[in-house]
Homo-oligomer: A and B are copies of this chain.
Amino acid sequence: MLPARLHPGGVEAASPGAEAQPLLRRLGRLATLSPAEQAMIAELGRGPLRELPARAEIHPEGVCPPPAALLSGWACRIRMLADGRRQIVAFLLPGDLIGRPPPCLPAPCAALALTRVLLADAQPLFAAGFVHHPPVQTGLGRALRAAELQEEILLRDQVVRLGRQTAYERLASLLLELRQRLEMAGLAQPGRFALPLTQEVLADALGLSVVHINRTVQQMRRDRLIELRGGQVIILQPEALQSVADWQDIPGLRD
């Protein structure tokens, strides 16, 4: 609704369109984009944006949400059971896409802001990449398609974590996933990144209790694999962490 320049707080928008940087970076890594496509993506950052505070619902469960791009802040897809148990299905990071172009089935989970978030309407992107041309034909189409496929891969990783890994392994694996994703969006220094998540959120993502997350974090600190304070993670021993987590890199796509 409001133009971008009315949101001075938080986003350090030095150059115009800077809000779209992570999205541009990520999609640009997935396929070669034409200058026109790059411009279209950068334009999103100048278009009408939706700003939401932490804890706000981006879209509820059971609807078919319109395509949006997460420009800044963290969010998640979450599902709740009847008795209140919560499972975070996926984390959404700057540069990620929420919602699908039609035809679209009702989403089985809600999307929730974990921090203050800035959302842009991604309808034009999907229209250009998915609807007007077959996705294979354009760089943008291939990039959007690859983003979808990556999301599916992350979902499968999550299944393996929850199904067959111990608490310690799950935490290691999640941290490595977030690190790589943030790097792909240009938001992490090597070995160090911001993690604006409470232990309760981690618990809901990893299928554990808060108490046990705490135990596990303590242990990982004592083992000198990570440091975690004030919303910042430092990965002290990447190789050790990778071997604990049985980690394999998230594949990309270059045309």
Structural contact, B87 and A163, CB atoms closer than 8 A? yes
Q: How many copies does the complex hold?
A: 2
Q: What sequence of 0s and 1s flags, for each residue 136-170 of chain A, a beta carbon within 8 Å of any chain B beta carbon? A: 10000010011001101101111110111100000
The answer to whether the Cβ of A46 comes within 8 Å of any Cβ in the partner chain is: no
**Contact bitstring A118-144, B, C-beta under 8 A = 1, else 0:** 000000000000111111100000100
Chain B residues whose CB sits within 8 angstroms of the CB of A89 once the complex forms: 156, 159-160
Q: Give the interface size bracket for A toward B.
A: 35 or more
Nearest opposing residue in chain B for A149, CB measure: B105
Could you give, for residues 51-92 of chain A, a 1 whenever the CB lies within 8 Å of some chain B CB and a 0 otherwise?
000000000000000000000000001010110011101000
In the assembled complex, 26 residue pairs joining A and B whose CB atoms fall closer than 8 Å, in A order, are A77-B156, A81-B160, A81-B165, A86-B164, A87-B160, A100-B149, A103-B142, A103-B253, A104-B149, A105-B146, A105-B153, A105-B251, A105-B252, A105-B253, A108-B157, A130-B135, A131-B136, A133-B134, A134-B135, A152-B155, A155-B159, A159-B159, A162-B162, A162-B207, A163-B207, A164-B207
